[in-house]
Structure formats: structure tokens, C-alpha cells
Amino acid sequence: MVDFGFAPIEINIHDLDKADLRLSAWISERDETFKLCIACGSCTATCTAGKFTKFSFREMCHSIRRGEISEAIAESEKCMLCGKCTLACPRNVNTRNIVKLVRKANQNFKV
């Protein structure tokens, strides 16, 4: 490999062809608004749980899309279902429902 003096860090590479998109498909099937997210971060900016921890709904969605299923499931537990994000989201993503779906996936869906 040509040495440019910088290189991608191996663990940060996401090969979407290899990603495990089962959870993403499972959720999209049950709540179409999952597809509407534009990762604007309004949800994260307002998040009640985000005041205390790194939890971010936007990042959780990213994880799901990248196939990091167990990370997403673990993160989802931090949400308090308070609903601020739903009201803040400009794309009308049904955020609380998606968090609940991720939680249910934890039970219904062997990763």
C-alpha cells in the first residue's frame, strides 16, 4: 500500500456489503419512519438521557444501519421514552416506537 502518511483505522471501516442489516430491515418493516431519518441530530440535541450519558438516538440509528446490532440494543436501554426527541424531529421519525422496537428485537430476534 502506498504510504500517504495517514490511513484508515481498521476498526472504523464499515463495509456495508458485509454489514448485518437484519435489525435495520426488521425495524423498517415495522416502522417505516425509520427510513426517514436524515441524521440531523435534533433528537440528540434535546435528549433527556443525553444530558447524563453519551446516549444518542441518532447514533443508535447509525449503529443499526451499520449492522452493529448488539451496540444498538445495548444503547437503546438508556432511553427514558420521554418523547422529547419525537417532538423535536423535523422528519417525524417515530423515535419512541423505534426505541421500543429495538428493545423488542432484543427479545424476539437472536443476534
Partner 1 sequence: MKYHPFVIPFSIGLAFVILYIVGMWTFWIIRLSRREQKIVWKRLFSFRTIEAMWESMMEGLFHRKIFKKHALLGYMHMSLAFGWFMLIVLGNFESRLYPHGNINPPFYPIFFEFFRHDLSPLREYEEIFTFLMDFFLLLVISGICLAFFKRIKSRILGMRRTTKHILIDRIALTSLWFIFPLRILAESVTAGLYNTGHFFTNFLGQNVIYNLPLDQLYYPAWWAYSIALGMFFVTLPFSRYMHIPAEILLIFLRKYGVKEKEAHSTFTKIEQSACSRCGICIDSCQLSTDLNINDTQPAYFIRDLRYSQPNERMRETCMMCMRCVEACPVGIEIAAMRRNERREHQIFSSTGYEYLNGHTYPKAKVAFFAGCMGHLTPSVIKSTLKLFDAAGVDYTFIDKDGSICCGRPLQLGGQEKAAKQLIDKNNTLIHNTGAEVLVTTCPICAREFKQNYHLNIPVLHHSQFLLQLANDNKLKINKSELNIAYHDPCELSRGLGITKEPRELLEKVGNVVDPTKQAKNNSLCCGGSLGITNISADQKKAIAASTINQITNSETNVVATACPLCKKTFNSAQDEMPIKDISEILVQNLNHTDSKNPAQVKESKVTVSV
Which positions touch partner 1 (CB under 8 A)?
Answer: 33, 46, 48-49, 51-53, 55, 77-78, 80-84, 86-88, 92, 94, 96-97, 100, 103-104, 106-107
42 part of the interface to ligand SF4, by CB under 6 A: yes
CB of 82 to ligand SF4, least distance (A): 4
Q: Site size for ligand SF4, by CB under 6 A?
A: 27
Using the CB atoms, write b or e for 33-66: b if 16+ within 10 Å: bbeebeeeebbbebbebbeeeebbbbbbbbbbbb
41 binds, among partner 1, ligand SF4, none (CB under 5 to 8 A by kind): ligand SF4
Ordered DSSP codes for 36-62? G-----HHHHH-TGGGTSS--HHHHHH
67, three cell numbers: 449492522
Half-sphere exposure of 81 (CA within 13 A, CB side): 8
CB of 71 to partner 1, least distance (A): 15
Contact residues toward ligand SF4 (CB under 6 A) are 37-43, 46-49, 57-58, 79-85, 88-89, 91, 93, 95-96, 99
